[in-house]
Amino acid sequence: MSDPPPLPPNPAPRVLSIVVVNERREIPRIGKRLTEFGEACGLSPDDVASVNLAIDELISNVINYAYDDAEKHYIQVTVSVDGDLLALSIDDEGKAFNPLEAPMPDLDLPVEKRPVGGLGIFLVKSMADTLEYRRERGHNILTLTKKLSQVKK
């Protein structure tokens, strides 16, 4: 009896790395690059849209709240696809902030009675399989992982 044929190797992980400045005009540029990257990796439009939403929310929070000055600051965005797992990492040098400690919004309140803020982080938490935060060398590093719904081979 012969041995079964060897399994083909997993494709090498693909990585998109972008450095942006803390300006809102950067968000559409990230979205465009992510869409191109997603197409090249064979990601479903739904997966690309959900990751784009997460990036929009997280980068907006960094731009709006992480810095106490009007200076230019750099934000590193890294997206990797390894098989059916996507990882997103956002690294900024802003004030320490752990979004995992943010209170959950009260979704039972009518919209007009809800306090402003918190819904974006709630959405990010709900779409991610894992979300990890660490503070390292003066940087916030937030890493999200998501199992992809479909990856074309």
Q: 71-113 pLDDT, tens per residue?
A: 999 999 999 999 999 999 999 999 999 987 876 655 555 656 6
- DSSP symbol at 111: G
Cα 92 from Cα 73, distance rounded (Å): 8
Task: Tell me: pLDDT of 12 over 80.
Answer: no
What's the CATH number for 14-147?
3.30.565.10
Cα–Cα distances (Å) from 148 to 31, 47, 58, 139, in that order, read 18, 6, 20, 28
What is the pTM assigned to this prediction?
0.81
Partnered with residue 139 across adjacent β-strands are 136
Q: Which residues are within 8 A (CB) of 73 and not within 5 positions of it... i.e. 6 or more apart? A: 21, 22, 66, 67, 92, 93, 94
